[in-house]
């Protein structure tokens, strides 16, 4: 949720932010109206409640039975009214919360206005290989995965259905190597390593903004009311819920490895081949708690660490500034790093970093104790390594004419010094 005071004082900024997201500015006015009736309900209730309390004290101090009885009669009446107005206040607050939960964070003025296709390319780094000049047709990751004995999609479908896979042999080793390398990088940069739960309660999901429009994309276990996280961001943000962090302890940086589960409800027919879009993958995620003021620089820093990662993997990629309409509910701005996928002839998202300012922190009640008082902190997240897609990009970009795959130098120590992954005798 966003800061109410600023919403009241300057509703036009919020309306404009809604327009930039292609969302309804009327929601802002509905919220302000609900806030109005909520506050008047609070005032009425509190006035009655104060009267009730003072009468209650007079009852205790009453001098005789008649005086006492008279006070009791009067008080009974007030007590009934208090109950009525309390219900009215509860209802007004519920309506207010319902509306305010729908309002996304105010998109940054620097984020391009518009929808999914209105992103701005910030830079290109590296050059896609010219396979024609090298004299061979690149194979896709499905074929490469089979030949290396690394990715078993057929059996994934047999056991778990569409959008599931097994990483086998060198494929499994490759993921573990990538995870170890990513965790090492982040740890060296000062992140505290974490292994968080992948099942969370509704509060954590709601607080990170995944139960609004994004709810259809989330797996839910109704018998136990658990959600499967789509990213460890959820567990990392909720980690400090209801806490007041010392200003000295900021920024706090965590890096988590966890499985990620996504229903991919809105993407039927998209990326149906291979393991580019799957119901489960593993991810190494960076997460920062800091101040709102420091969040903008921190966002650039997270992007910098992602770029460092791409450089180590020697992948050609571009960085885009996501348009306001394509931001998640919580984010004010988002940068994606998109790797070149040779057989698709396109750049595709591998990592993503969002600045959520104090939006998630307000919902999860995470504050900092500063010299001038207690205020919500800012939260930011950034992917370091999303396993399935990273493997796709690595195999396709570093494949060689004989069907083997070159291992980038930085990754070699994590694969016991291997510099090439060779096809196996019996492909999958």
Partner RNA sequence: GGAGGAUUCGCAUAGUGGCCUAGUGCGCACGCUUGGAAAGCGUGUUGGGUGCAAGCCCACGCGGGUUCGAAUCCCGCAUCCUCCGCCA
Host H or E run for residue 343: none
Q: Which is nearer to RNA, 83 or 273 (CB)?
A: 83
Provide DSSP, 262-288.
---GGGTTSS-STTSS-SEEEEEEEEE
330-366 in b/e form (b: 16+ CB < 10 A) is bbbbbbbbbbbbbbeeebbbbbbbbbbbbbbbbbbeb
- φ, ψ (nearest 5 deg) of residue 258: -160, 160
Task: Identify the bridge partners of residue 252 per DSSP, sorted by sequence position.
Answer: 289
Binding residues for RNA restricted to 141-200, rule: CB under 7 A? none
- Whole-number Å distance between alpha carbons of 338 and 318: 5
The interface mask with RNA, positions 343-382, x = CB under 7 A, is ------------------------x-x----x--------
Instruction: Check if 352 is active-site.
Output: yes
Cβ 379 to RNA shortest distance, Å: 18
Binding residues for RNA restricted to 41-100, rule: CB under 7 A? 42-43, 45-47, 49-50, 52-57, 59-60, 72, 75-76, 78-79, 82, 90
Cβ 52 to RNA shortest distance, Å: 6
Cβ 341 to RNA shortest distance, Å: 38
Cβ 404 to RNA shortest distance, Å: 37
Q: Which is nearer to RNA, 13 or 81 (CB)?
A: 81
Question: Of 37-45, 107-115, 135-143, 330-338, which part binds RNA (CB under 7 A)?
Answer: 37-45
Crossing angle for the helix pair 26-61 and 65-100, nearest 10 degrees? 160
Name the active-site residue from 68, 129, 277, 348. Answer: 277
- Whole-number Å distance between alpha carbons of 273 and 213: 26
Cβ 45 to RNA shortest distance, Å: 7
**Does residue 4 touch RNA according to CB under 7 A?**
yes
Q: Which is nearer to RNA, 76 or 300 (CB)?
A: 76
Q: Which is nearer to RNA, 372 or 425 (CB)?
A: 372
Name the active-site residue from 333, 387, 389, 396. Answer: 389
- φ, ψ (nearest 5 deg) of residue 422: -100, 150
Name the active-site residue from 232, 330, 352, 354. Answer: 352
Q: How far is CA 103 from CA 1, 33, 96, 334, in A?
A: 7, 14, 11, 18
Q: Which is nearer to RNA, 19 or 39 (CB)?
A: 39
Q: Which is nearer to RNA, 158 or 369 (CB)?
A: 369
Instruction: Check if 277 is active-site.
Output: yes
Strand order in the sheet with 244-246: 244-246, 367-370, 373-376
- Whole-number Å distance between alpha carbons of 321 and 344: 22
- Whole-number Å distance between alpha carbons of 175 and 186: 17
Q: Which is nearer to RNA, 79 or 168 (CB)?
A: 79
Cβ 238 to RNA shortest distance, Å: 14
Name the active-site residue from 21, 38, 253, 262. Answer: 262
Crossing angle for the helix pair 292-313 and 387-397, nearest 10 degrees? 40
Nearest to 399 by CA among 167, 169, 139: 139
Name the active-site residue from 86, 95, 264, 349. Answer: 349
Instruction: Check if 188 is active-site.
Output: no
User: Taking every pair of C-alpha atoms in the chain, what is the biggest distance, in angstroms?
Assistant: 107
Binding residues for RNA restricted to 220-249, rule: CB under 7 A? 244
Do residues 269 and 344 make contact, with C-beta atoms less than 8 angstroms apart? Answer: no
Binding residues for RNA restricted to 89-108, rule: CB under 7 A? 90
Instruction: Check if 108 is active-site.
Output: no
Instruction: Check if 389 is active-site.
Output: yes
Applying CB under 7 A, the site for RNA has a residue count of 28
Q: Which is nearer to RNA, 84 or 272 (CB)?
A: 84
Cβ 98 to RNA shortest distance, Å: 16
Do residues 190 and 287 make contact, with C-beta atoms less than 8 angstroms apart? Answer: no
Cβ 62 to RNA shortest distance, Å: 9
Question: Of 38-46, 106-114, 148-156, 392-400, which part binds RNA (CB under 7 A)?
Answer: 38-46
Contacts of 93 (CB under 8 A, 6+ apart): 38, 41
- Whole-number Å distance between alpha carbons of 308 and 409: 14
Known catalytic residues are: 262, 277, 349, 352, 389
> Where does this chain bind RNA (CB under 7 A)?
4, 39, 42-43, 45-47, 49-50, 52-57, 59-60, 72, 75-76, 78-79, 82, 90, 244, 367, 369, 374
């Amino acid at each position: 949720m966003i800061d109410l005071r600023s919403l009241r004082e300057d509703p036009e900024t919020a309306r404009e932010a809604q327009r930039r997201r292609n969302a309804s500015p009327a929601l802002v006015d509905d919220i302000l109206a609900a806030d109005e009736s909520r506050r008047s309900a609070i005032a009425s209730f509190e006035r009655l409640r104060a009267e009730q309390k003072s009468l209650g004290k007079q009852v205790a101090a009453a001098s005789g039975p008649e005086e006492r009885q008279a006070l009791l009669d009067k008080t009974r009446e007030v007590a009934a009214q208090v109950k009525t107005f309390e219900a009215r206040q509860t209802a007004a607050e519920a309506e207010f919360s319902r509306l305010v939960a729908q309002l996304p964070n105010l998109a940054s003025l620097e984020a391009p206005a518009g929808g999914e296709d209105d992103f701005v390319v910030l830079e290109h780094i590296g050059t896609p290989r010219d396979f024609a000049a090298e004299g061979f047709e690149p194979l896709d990751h499905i074929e490469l995965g089979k030949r290396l004995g690394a990715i078993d999609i057929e059996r994934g479908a047999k056991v778990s259905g569409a959008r599931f896979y097994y990483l086998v042999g060198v494929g499994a080793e490759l993921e573990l190597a990538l995870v170890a390398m990513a965790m090492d990088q982040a740890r060296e940069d000062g992140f505290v390593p974490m292994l968080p739960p992948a099942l969370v309660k509704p509060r954590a999901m709601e607080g990170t903004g995944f139960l609004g429009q994004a709810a259809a994309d989330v797996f839910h276990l109704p018998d136990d009311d658990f959600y499967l996280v789509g990213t460890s961001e959820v567990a990392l943000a909720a980690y400090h819920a209801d806490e007041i962090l010392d200003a000295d302890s900021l920024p706090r940086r965590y890096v988590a490895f966890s499985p990620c589960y996504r229903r991919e409800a809105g993407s039927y027919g998209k990326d149906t081949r291979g393991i580019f879009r799957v119901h489960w993958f593993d991810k190494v995620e960076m997460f920062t708690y800091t101040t709102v003021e420091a969040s903008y620089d921190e966002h650039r820093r997270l992007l910098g660490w992602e770029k460092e990662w791409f450089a180590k993997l020697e992948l050609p990629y571009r960085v885009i500034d996501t348009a306001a309409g394509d931001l998640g509910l919580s984010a004010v701005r988002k940068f994606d790093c998109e790797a070149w996928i040779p057989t698709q002839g396109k750049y595709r998202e591998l990592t993503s970093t969002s600045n959520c300012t104090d939006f998630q922190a307000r919902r999860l009640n995470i504050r900092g104790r500063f010299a001038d008082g207690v205020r919500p902190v800012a939260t930011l997240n950034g992917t370091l390594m999303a396993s399935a897609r990273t493997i796709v990009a690595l195999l396709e970009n570093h494949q060689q004419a004989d069907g083997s795959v070159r291992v980038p130098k930085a990754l070699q120590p994590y694969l016991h010094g291997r510099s090439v992954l060779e096809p196996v005798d019996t492909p999958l």
